Amino acid sequence: MRKIFIQNNLDENKIMEAKYFHIGALQNTTPVFIEHYPILQKELDFLDKFHIQKISVYSSLDEPMFEHFGSGKIKPMIKFLGMKEDEPIVHAMVSKSIAGAQQKIADKIIIDQHANSQKEWLLKNLK
């Protein structure tokens, strides 16, 4: 992740967990997410609360949510196509697929149990 932050001129020293985020943290900065919240609506509510129109998400196929949906099958294909491990994939189809995965998770959740990481969240909420 460090290499990607450097390539995109992002200061990794300014990383802040969402639970500590406040409006003052936005001053002269552009927020980014380093993983998705498993439920899309929670992400949208967060953006709305802080009046953020658009956000970049730096995800990894090693992210627990992606592993839940079989990212292990995609990794060999990406390698076969000659893409580098740190090469970003940006496409509307990818964004729609992620939103669809988040919706599938949301459809299974009755009560959103708090967790300190995506992995912990998935373990608590998707039994």
Residue whose C-alpha is closest to residue 89's, from 57, 67, 118: 57
- Write out pLDDT tens, residues 8-31: 777 776 666 666 777 777 776 777
Q: Tell me, what's the pLDDT at 7?
A: 74
Helices (H), the chain: 2-7, 40-49, 64-68, 71-80, 92-108, 118-125
- Write out pLDDT tens, residues 70-124: 999 998 999 999 998 888 888 999 999 999 999 999 999 999 999 989 999 999 9
Answer whether 69's CB lies under 8 Å from 101's CB. Answer: yes
Q: Tell me, what's the pLDDT at 14?
A: 66
The CA distance from 40 to 11, in Å, is 26
The CA distance from 39 to 61, in Å, is 17
Answer whether 76's CB lies under 8 Å from 89's CB. Answer: no
Q: Tell me, what's the pLDDT at 16?
A: 66
Q: Which residues have a Cβ under 8 Å from the Cβ of 99 and sit 6 or more positions away?
A: 40
- Per DSSP, 83 falls in state -
Q: Tell me, what's the pLDDT at 15?
A: 67
Predicted model pTM: 0.80
32 — pLDDT class (breaks 50, 70, 90): confident
